[in-house]
Structure 1
Amino acid sequence: MALGTDKETTTMKCIRVPSPRRRRSALVLLAAAATLLLSGCKGGDLVSYELPEKSAPYTFETETNGVKTVWRYSSAKATKDDTSTLSPCIGELVGSDQAACRPEPLIFLRYDFGLALDNTVRAGEAHEVTVVGYYQERLSDLPEVTSLKAETTFDGGSTWRPAPSKATGENTFTTTIRNPRRDQAPAGVGLRIRATDSQGNTVTQTIPVAYTLR
């Protein structure tokens, strides 16, 4: 099993293992996980582990600069390598472990906020945000992101309200946010996205300030 980093949104920095049962004998990490070291994680934060043979549900959480991401997914012990030649297992690179490895089926999110040159959005108007779901590169067929729900907050997360969203392409969705007056969201507009794929895996990402208003 291996975990990588979301280079597009930089929401994944250090790994926090949610359950002691996941801390079994070490397997291997993908080479992509080495980027976590470059982002400031300590060596102890990089964890590799062997999963039981029977598939089970897991939860994985990260938080960086206030952006919180929670993945819920099902996984089991890898029986064969499922990685690309561009992202080999670390064990293959250093010769320390030849066990089978693969990325976990984590849904990552990439955003196009449609910002102006000053990184703001016009207040009092409807505004579209495009969200694309994607996965770490692997050889087998990937799941498909089948649904996306969006919520917005104008008061720093005290209250959330649904925002309509629709599929506009493969793993691609557009959500429409009705921006309030600038004085009604002085700190900016927050966004919470929950995406689900064809295998039942989910990701919930909360961005306290997605953009500010002008």
Structure 2
Amino acid sequence: MNTSAPSSRRRKGTVAALVTAAVFALGCSVGGDIVAYDLPAESARYTFEAETNGVKTVWEYTSDKPAEGDASELQPCMGDVLGNNMAACRPEPLIFLKYDLGLALDNTARAGVAHRITVVGYYQERLTAPPSVTSLRVEASFDGGQTWKAATTQAAGKNTFTVEIKHPHRSQGAEAVGLRISATDSGGNTVKQTLPTAYRLR
């Protein structure tokens, strides 16, 4: 998250990252892990990385100085909450991913068939003018990440994509499916998320 400080050259930012195994959320939260950092006032490209339980996410995004109108009265800036920085702020334009893996009640999928999942890109609600996710690439691994095969993706609505993954038979040694997802939006921001074991085969 960016905040504009009184200085014309520097501004203060606060990020609160709450990370789960497969779905990542990042935003202002008093109860989260808070990391403060300084960013130049001019527009620049940044990389943010997070990893938990083996799931790795890498964001690349463009950040610039926020305007006063970017702050929300319903969800105030962290500086407003803590009372130590009253400057304008807004979330970074990070792409987050959520999944409908189409699994059975035991969280498995059938081996030896084509399986469909849905991937949705989204942004923090406080982002006043979020970009649109324009492309999605999905790769699947059936050998613990040693090799990856591209899956077929198709746009299915705003920021939504369906993915068809061809599962090998269990007799071929496949027990689980790993996923590697890359998305790009209209602002040139990207995310790459790797789930070593997204689900198991039966």
CA distance, structure 2, for counterparts of residue 76 and residue 185 of structure 1? 49
1:78 aligns with one of 66, 87, 90: 66
In the TM superposition, what is the alpha-carbon distance from 1:6 to its structure 2 partner?
A: 5.7
Q: Give 1:10 deviation, angstroms.
A: 5.4
Greater strand percent: which structure?
A: 2
Q: Give yes or no for contact 1:156–1:187 (8 Å, CA) kept in 2.
A: no
**Partner residue, 2:135:** 147
Distance 2:19 2:48 in 1: 17
Q: Which residue of 2 aligns with 1:197?
A: 185
Encode CA deviations 1:101-141: one digit per residue, 9 max, x unaligned: 11000000000000100110000000011000000112521
Aligned to 2:15: 3
Confirm or deny: 8 A CA contact 1:11 1:69 kept in the other structure: no
1:154/1:184 contact within 8 Å kept: no
Task: Give the CA deviation at 1:9.
Answer: 5.5
Where does the alignment leave 5 or more consecutive residues of structure 1 unmatched? 16-29, 38-45
Q: CA deviation at 1:185?
A: 4.7
TM-score, L = length of structure 2: 0.85
Q: Structure 1 residues 77-86 or 136-145, which shifts more?
A: 77-86
- The change in CA–CA distance for 1:66 and 1:8 in structure 2 (over 3 A counts) is closer
Which residue is equivalent to 1:41? none
Give the SS at the match of 2:68.
Answer: coil
User: Is 2:92 aligned against 1:92?
Assistant: no
**How do 1:178-197 and structure 2 match up within 5 A?**
178-197=166-185
The residue that corresponds to 1:42 in the other structure is none
In the alignment, which of 144, 155, 160 is matched to residue 172 of structure 1? Answer: 160
Q: CA RMSD in A?
A: 2.2
Which amino acid in 2 is paired with 1:36?
G
Unaligned runs of 5+ residues in structure 2 are: 3-13
**2:32 paired with 1:36:** yes
- CA distance in structure 1 between the aligned counterparts of 2:21 and 2:135, rounded to whole angstroms: 20
In the alignment, which residue of structure 2 is the partner of 1:58?
46
CA distance in 2, matches of 1:85, 1:165: 39
